[in-house]
């Protein structure tokens, strides 16, 4: 079966330690504050106003229409407090439309393995259930923790991409289904 024939519905994901809830408009309160946090938005295009967050939520919800795609808020399994998000959203940055991994956490959650666990859950879903062949990510070269995580997950650096709002290029990383060790 192809990815389009697989069960790639909007559904929560979970592990022993974390839960991933599909992003919905009801998450706007958390996300409006989240995307205005300077520490969270370091290594990004900058802080987002409420209208930009509303557009991001719309894009996040639409990403579930792409096999393997989606966006989820991360929480600890036993808690209802959100820690951040993980996403696989379609975009065309010059190489054709493909899924791009994104993950951001509140600073109190950094360095605890939460990002690795959340990314692993969505990569496993995309590669094993949805037939995704390749996933990309762009990373600021100064964001060493994210670069280390990408390498641990199996991503390989392939080149660079120069975002419009930046004064330097991001590295482009990619992982193919056959490289996934999940």
Domain ranges of the chain: 12-179
pLDDT at res. 168? 81
Of 139, 142, 140, 141, give the one whose Cα is nearest residue 174: 139
pLDDT tens digits, residue range 53-100?
Answer: 999 999 999 999 999 999 999 999 767 799 999 999 998 888 788 999
Q: Which helix (H) or strand (E) holds 90?
A: strand 82-91
Question: Is domain 12-179 classified as CATH 3.40.630.30?
Answer: yes
pLDDT tens digits, residue range 96-143?
Answer: 889 999 999 999 999 999 999 999 999 999 999 888 999 999 999 999
pLDDT tens digits, residue range 148-157?
Answer: 999 999 999 9
């Amino acid at each position: 079966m192809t990815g389009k024939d697989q069960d790639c519905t909007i559904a929560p994901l979970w592990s022993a330690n974390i839960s991933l809830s599909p992003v919905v408009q009801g998450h706007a309160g958390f996300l409006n504050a989240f995307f205005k946090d300077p520490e969270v938005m370091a290594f990004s295009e900058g802080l987002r106003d409420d209208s930009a967050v509303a557009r991001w939520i719309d894009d996040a919800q639409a990403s579930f229409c792409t096999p393997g795609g989606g966006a989820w808020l991360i929480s600890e399994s036993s808690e209802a407090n959100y820690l951040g998000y993980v996403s696989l959203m379609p975009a065309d940055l010059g190489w054709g439309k493909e899924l791009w991994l994104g993950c951001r956490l509140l600073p109190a959650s950094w360095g605890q393995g939460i990002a690795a666990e959340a990314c692993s859950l969505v990569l496993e879903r995309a590669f094993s259930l949805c037939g995704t062949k390749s996933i990309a990510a762009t990373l600021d070269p100064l964001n060493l923790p994210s670069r280390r995580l990408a390498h641990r997950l199996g991503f390989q650096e392939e080149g660079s991409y120069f975002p419009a709002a930046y004064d330097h290029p991001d590295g482009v990383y990619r992982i193919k289904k056959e490289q996934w060790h999940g």
